[in-house]
Structure 1
């Protein structure tokens, strides 16, 4: 396993620690950063497919820290400045995993269980026995898996614009598949241009980012380290995931499910199915929200996460 070659220091956002590295027992290194007072309630933020930790905006992290959380954001394996994992995934294998019968699907280089264990490894590195966990998209799948694997280490669960693993819910708009299978950009400009086009399709039309903000985020993502092979490995972990619906009924920690009604990347049926499966969960559906976290809704989401965490303390 290897780390990305570019390890240039990044500007530290207000209220954040410098970026740091956690060496895990599995040989991986995860890049992470914290916001808020270490004495606050630990809250682990888990990002989605191909997204570095910087996709959790500093403003949102500070909003959570202001509500009493010790906020931890990190680059998943194969993302940003964290380690690259071994294993090659071809376009053919990816398509076969998506459309083929389960008995013929290739074994992925790693699974959602492995990504969940990375999260626990980071908590171990920080000396934390448990944490509130919040995940978006693939990150929602990861935090659901964390709550199933080690419920004693999860204080509360927030699953944002995610799904249960059942193929009949949370589907993508079929028009997105060709975009997802496009050949990866090989220059910074091509990556930024492609990102701007993609987010214009899947973002929140009611709460739009400026094009410049989208392009700046894409440029920062490229500069942190983009791995097309890593994104493919994450994608095959997603399409190979089990249907967690029955097992989600075992979750007893306070749970919040957030989903946009205009999400083209993960249909709102995925959020509804997640909430139905987890007893006592709160479902927050947002009109006009796509597959992003609009700045205009940061306080709404931070308040809701604080609310579900308070249920855990009671």
Structure 2
């Protein structure tokens, strides 16, 4: 299916689906600062070929979804949680398996707590707990912290400068224990920049208010949950994944040896079967 723009509750969101609508639905929630392109098409098609109806979408201020003036986002983090429900509504799906990565994993946790009847299962990738408190967890690595604090900022008026900066950021996120596929990263970043209504608006994600805080613990999540985490993640070191799996009742943990933050193509043969197995025994609702 080709991508399309849907409007629910006055919010315009760009969505794309893969596979047969009769199959169990699987909603992919990307991290902040990235469009749905980072759920790569090949990855989505592998899941669809495994018998899932796969949906990816652009967050607000990314890709072809609604875009706000830079520095003036007209929404909160809680609104992004609500967008997951809007995407399901646009597809007339009552409940879905939800896969979230990075900050998208935090959104997925919030969605499961705020809308438990709409979540069949959770897969949480390269993420941490969605609320403050809990056990002390390690800070990002020194290399990651140095990059974020560096003065080598992108010139956001120049697309090439933005691409170079974002590729350098992707290199740091990769963790440094495996060869970095710069060609693939540059292609994804370039696609993000060229496809967006206004790529500078993506910086609105850095200034979002959280919205109404959650008042229930993660231990309230009752749906089957799988945590997938790289052992070389520089943003959320592996202990974050371990703690998340320990806090959510009966959650499983899949460690990706030497993997950084995100899903590398080399890990698709491991990650895709794990997601398919995790979502195989729960009935869909649509």
5 Å matches for 1:258-277? 258-277=228-247
- Secondary structure in 2 matching 1:157: strand
Please state if 1:151 is matched with 2:116: yes
Gaps of 5+ in 1: 1-16, 90-107
Decide whether aligned partners of structure 1 residues 52 and 24 sit closer, same or farther in structure 2, where only a CA change above 3 A counts.
same
The reply on whether 1:162 has 2:127 as its aligned counterpart is yes
Q: How many pairs are equivalent? A: 277
- Specify the alignment match of 2:153 in structure 1: 182
CA distance in 2, matches of 1:109, 1:120: 18
Cα offset for 1:31? 0.5
Aligned to 1:117: 82
Tell me if 1:21 matches 2:10. Answer: no
> Secondary structure, in 3 states, of the residue corresponding to 2:282?
helix
Report the 3-state secondary structure (helix = DSSP H, G, I; strand = E; otherwise coil) of the residue aligned with 2:160.
helix
SS of aligned partner of 1:265? coil
Residue matched to 1:227: 199
Secondary structure at the aligned position of 1:310 is classed as coil
Partners of 1:300 and 1:271 lie apart in 2 by 17
Do the aligned residues in 2 keep the contact of 1:44 with 1:132 (CA within 8 Å)?
yes
CA-CA distance at 1:22 after TM superposition: 1.1
Q: Does 1:139 align with 2:110?
A: no
Distance 1:270 1:277 in 2: 11
After TM superposition, give the deviation of residue 144 of structure 1 in Å. 0.6
Shift of residue 299, structure 1, vs aligned partner: 2.0
Change (3 A) 1:156 1:286: same
User: CA contact under 8 A between 1:256 and 1:282: conserved in structure 2?
Assistant: yes
Which stretch shifts more, 217-226 or 160-169? 160-169
Is the contact between residue 171 and residue 270 of structure 1 (CA under 8 Å) also seen in structure 2?
no
> Equivalent residue for 1:284?
254
Q: TM-score normalised to the size of structure 2?
A: 0.88
Q: Give the Cα separation in 1 of the matches to 2:173 and 2:32.
A: 14
Aligned counterparts of 1:296 and 1:70: Cα–Cα separation in 2:
23
Structure 1 contact 44–133 (Cα < 8 Å) conserved: yes
- Is the alpha carbon distance of 1:207 and 1:245 closer, same or farther for their aligned partners in structure 2, counting shifts above 3 Å? farther
TM (normalized to structure 1)? Answer: 0.80
**Structure 2 spans left out of the alignment, 5+ residues:** none
How much is the aligned-residue C-alpha RMSD, in angstroms?
2.5
Matches of 2:150 and 2:13, distance apart in 1 = 28
Kept in 1, the 8 Å contact 2:177–2:232? The answer is no
Q: Which moved more, 1:196-205 or 1:257-266?
A: 196-205
